[in-house]
Structure 1
Amino acid sequence: MHLPLRRANFPASMAVEVNPASFAAPRLVALNDALAETLGFAPEWLRSPEGVALLSGQTRIEGVPALAQAYAGHQFGQFVPQLGDGRAHLLGVVTDARGDVHDVQLKGSGPTPFSRRGDGLAALGPVLREYLVSEAMAALNVPTTRALAAVTTGETIWRDKPQPGAILTRVAASHLRVGTFQYFAAREDREALAFLCDLAIDRHAPSAREAENPVKALYETVVARQAQLVARWMSLGFVHGVMNTDNMTLSGETIDYGPCAFLDTYSHDKVFSSIDRNGRYAYGNQPRLAGWNLARLAETLLPFFDTNEDRALAWAQEALGRFQSLYEEAWLDRMRPKLGLATKGDQDKTLIEALLEVMETETLDWTLSFRRLARNENLVAGHAPATLERWMADWQARRALEPASLKAQQDLMQRNNPAVIARNHRVAEAIAAAETGDFSVFEALLQRLRQPYDNDAAYELPPMPEQIVHATFCGT
């Protein structure tokens, strides 16, 4: 059987060859057939004992060693000079039919030299959470890593309680993180940084090669992509939960779905992560923290921006200074269609922010409120508060300025406001059932998440009070 995997060529300083752990009874519980075919894998082979052995790290392709990559990172604002893949193994890279290169990585596959006293394993719950949410994000057209497969290991691991062990096979455009660059900048390894810049340009910004300064062009590309990415998160009510610099990629993909969640009722300051006690990564803080992370990336690249430190710093500040305006433009571009607006108006930002203020005051559900607007339904039962009535009047006046018909505006809203998202209580239900051996709830939810704009009275409902998930967890 020919497999498309080939060796990821990193210098020894960047990645350590290390075998995944041995597991006695790995079992495939989820496989992304469409993604497998895109990458050149035969789904029927991946379901075979040989395929499951590959997806659980029990066998590898000759000449393609498994690697654990090095990186550092600011975690909740504190710099940690060495983190790295403590429970992940890069199986190799593949090139799809379009010529795009992807990393194929196992998560929860055992300890590595970067494990920092951890066991290197993953529980089934966090594996299924990442599978569901990353596939939901892909269906919503948000740049993201993808889930290729989930395998149970047949072993019990210990966290707050005994849990079934599992491994996720994750596919990414690359695993080059801001923290990857920080790792080598902290060691003043100019040669390694140059290698990373070349790799990032080849993978994620090939047109930068034609620029007068390719690294500057690379940085500008990363800034623009992160502005677009976070704008998409915000328009969907998505809370990443742990925006450390080691969780921001140069590819502009969403990565590391740990304590992530989608908003139910709207709150600008909403925090789900059980470890984010000070609200650093709250929903409303995400644009600011993205800019903070990009500043840390700029610090690692200053010598490549200009040989003169003052000029390099001045250019970096100018380039970074464009992030806020790029983000605001991207956010408005995402929010206008949610209200049926295809043209730009000077007061659109004020109109949108006024709606968000009403939603927060009235504790309205984020996703369902926008979907109700798209259906011409009332946002609240009974008599609407005066603030909402005033907003509705302002919105209708703004819609009257659109050249498109009201029907076309409604169609635009239907296409930009999902009915079904990976609601926290639904994900929790799927995980709880799977932990007892019942994967039917997971499969049903996964299929609905892949059609997010189709109406579904059951799956689009917000949680009942007793179903609300108040806190999410990393799972490491």
Structure 2
Amino acid sequence: MAQPVFDSAYARLPDRFFARVAPTPVAAPRLIRVNAPLAAELGMDPDWLASDEGVAVLAGNRVPETAIPIATAYAGHQFGGFVPQLGDGRAILLGEVIDRGGTRRDVQLKGAGPTPFSRRGDGRAALGPVLREYLVSEAMQALGIPTTRALAAVTTGERVIRETMLPGAVLARVASSHIRVGTFQFFASRGDVEGVHTLADHVIARHYPHAADAERPYRALLDAVIRAQAKLIARWLLVGFIHGVMNTDNTSVAGETIDYGPCAFLDEYDPGTVFSSIDTYGRYAYANQPAIAQWNLTRLAECLLPLLADDKDAAAADAVEALEAFAPVFERAYQGGLRRKLGLATERNGDAALADDLLQTMAANGADFTLTFRALCHAAADEGADAEVRGFFADPAAYDAWAPRWRQRLAEEPGDAAARRDTMLAVNPAFIPRNHHIEAVIRAAVDRDDFAPFEELLTVLAKPYDAQPAFARYMDPPAPQERVLQTFCGT
């Protein structure tokens, strides 16, 4: 068994980009789980990771010979207010590995102890948030949404103080990179144009190499990040995902979902839904996410202004032109996704109105987002299946008023009904990481040291589009006493 080999390009950047800091050892690390398929994808030996030596690395008790542990520097707008220095306060980047596809991937330990950016925090993670991020990030991967991944999780044998004393844990997280809009803001806010330039070149080389060959590489970089984020947010909305803390320091320039704190999925459809306990005014509500993403990207564009043109007015005009592309890219991705969810393979006038009318009807009738669309798959092939769909609406007649328009539109589509149903089943999940199931998993682990529910839910979420009749209970929305009204940040 061989330990992983790291090659840390980010650690070769100038010293002001990060702080060199080793993980703080923990008392008694114990493995919860190794993500064996991801380990293999990264060229790592999952058996080695599960060994005593591997667990020591995953917990931060041992640093591999080729690793250069660092905490990266970044700033960020948090709920609209700018903080000039944030940085990795409880995460330490061990380094980068080249996966079997030739792609460079970060391996980071989250909860590995204090860093120079901890701002009086303990640098640790509680078990509950680690399990939440493991479950939700791997669910997002299975749903086909760009995301950071969970390589492994360990308990530390120590307690952390939050509202109460909780068991500690460390998550080994994998990402295309951990570079954020806030990373650019860190340098731009200091007037460090050279730092912005160096970072932009690094991002182009790592994530958008085509931009290097463009006539205007930095405009091409901005265009690429805007496209990636627009498509990402559309995918979030199509599965009912709410990030919860869309600060600029939680916005990845690689277009991945990053930093799963008080995230959650919709049960009943309500565009104003907020779960995050710290989102007091609903800034990051479900329906606000596209506008917030564009706002965050505007902050990125501001950072890149000196690279876009020497003339300030020309640079600003260029940035505005780039940002104007966000809405059409988002709408194409979102409306295209809604058509696929409704079984429409072609695009026609009135499709957007048809989908919007359904969503408004669902909102007015408390219809479950995931289950309604899943049931529509079968209703598209058999009108007799309408009974199940109607059952999700407080007033079934509201669905009855909409359904004939949908069926008329389906009649204009090519292909047979059975094929259409199968195509719809492939884009409308049966299983999402519902909040009450995640909370039950956390309670079992924290209160009883029982990780069997975690393993079972992870198994279910790995195949979100399959029927899985043996696990049908995981499809169920919460009973009134099971409802989770707030989710919390791990810090």
Q: TM-score range by the shorter chain?
A: over 0.9
Equivalent residue in structure 1 for 2:414, among 388, 392, 403: 403
Alignment of 1:242-391 (within 5 A): 242-376=245-379, 377=385, 378-381=388-391, 385-391=396-402
Structure-2 residue corresponding to 1:451? 463
Equivalent residue in structure 2 for 1:147, among 147, 150, 158: 150
Counterpart AA for 2:403: M
Q: CA deviation at 1:5?
A: 1.7
Equivalent residue in structure 1 for 2:445, among 419, 434, 443: 434
Contact 2:6–2:96 (CA under 8 A) maintained in structure 1: yes
Query: Deviations along 1:108-138, whole A, 9 cap, x unmatched?
Result: 1100000001111000000000000000000
Contact 2:58–2:172 (CA under 8 A) maintained in structure 1: yes
User: What are the ranges of 5 or more consecutive residues in structure 1 without an aligned counterpart?
Assistant: none
The answer as to 2:92 corresponding to 1:81 is: no
CA distance in 2, matches of 1:226, 1:89: 25
Counterpart AA for 2:51: S
Alpha carbons of structure 1 residues 260 and 105: separation in structure 2 relative to 1, 3 Å: same
Counterpart AA for 1:446: L
Contact 1:4–1:40 (CA under 8 A) maintained in structure 2: no
The answer as to 2:397 corresponding to 1:394 is: no
Alignment of 1:68-107 (within 5 A): 68-107=71-110
Query: Deviations along 1:372-409, whole A, 9 cap, x unmatched?
Result: 11122332339964432221011001111111222221
Structure-2 residue corresponding to 1:468? 483
CA distance in 2, matches of 1:383, 1:222: 41
TM-score by length of 1: 0.98
Alpha carbons of structure 1 residues 57 and 349: separation in structure 2 relative to 1, 3 Å: same
Contact 1:4–1:39 (CA under 8 A) maintained in structure 2: no
Contact 2:226–2:297 (CA under 8 A) maintained in structure 1: yes
Counting matched residue pairs gives 476
Counterpart AA for 1:380: R
Structure-2 residue corresponding to 1:3? 4
Query: Deviations along 1:308-350, whole A, 9 cap, x unmatched?
Result: 1111100110110110111011001111111111111111110
- The alignment partner of 2:147 has SS state of coil
CA distance in 2, matches of 1:386, 1:151: 51
- The alignment partner of 1:114 has SS state of coil
Q: CA deviation at 1:215?
A: 0.8
Equivalent residue in structure 2 for 1:185, among 178, 184, 188: 188
Counterpart AA for 2:417: L
Q: CA deviation at 1:2?
A: 4.6
- The alignment partner of 1:167 has SS state of strand
Counterpart AA for 2:186: Y
Alignment of 1:154-233 (within 5 A): 154-233=157-236
Alpha carbons of structure 1 residues 86 and 30: separation in structure 2 relative to 1, 3 Å: same
Counterpart AA for 1:127: V
CA distance in 2, matches of 1:335, 1:443: 32
- The alignment partner of 2:109 has SS state of strand
Counterpart AA for 2:478: P
Structure-1 residue corresponding to 2:23? 20
Q: CA deviation at 1:61?
A: 2.2
Q: Give the CA RMSD over aligned residues.
A: 1.1
- The alignment partner of 1:416 has SS state of coil
Q: CA deviation at 1:440?
A: 0.2
Q: CA deviation at 1:449?
A: 0.2
Q: CA deviation at 1:4?
A: 2.2
Q: Bigger CA drift: 117-126 or 386-395? A: 386-395
Q: CA deviation at 1:54?
A: 0.7
- The alignment partner of 1:375 has SS state of helix
Structure-2 residue corresponding to 1:32? 35
CA distance in 1, matches of 2:139, 2:65: 34
Contact 1:27–1:152 (CA under 8 A) maintained in structure 2: yes
User: What are the ranges of 5 or more consecutive residues in structure 2 without an aligned counterpart?
Assistant: 380-384
- The alignment partner of 2:310 has SS state of coil
CA distance in 2, matches of 1:287, 1:267: 16
Contact 1:29–1:152 (CA under 8 A) maintained in structure 2: yes
Q: CA deviation at 1:146?
A: 0.1
CA distance in 2, matches of 1:187, 1:63: 32
What fraction of aligned residue pairs are identical, expressed as a percent? 54
Counterpart AA for 2:480: P
Contact 2:362–2:368 (CA under 8 A) maintained in structure 1: yes
- The alignment partner of 2:15 has SS state of coil
- The alignment partner of 2:290 has SS state of helix
Counterpart AA for 2:428: N
Contact 2:425–2:465 (CA under 8 A) maintained in structure 1: yes
Contact 2:5–2:66 (CA under 8 A) maintained in structure 1: no
Alpha carbons of structure 1 residues 448 and 330: separation in structure 2 relative to 1, 3 Å: same
Equivalent residue in structure 2 for 1:133, among 122, 127, 136: 136
- The alignment partner of 2:160 has SS state of strand
Contact 2:3–2:48 (CA under 8 A) maintained in structure 1: no
Q: Bigger CA drift: 41-50 or 61-70? A: 61-70
Counterpart AA for 1:335: L
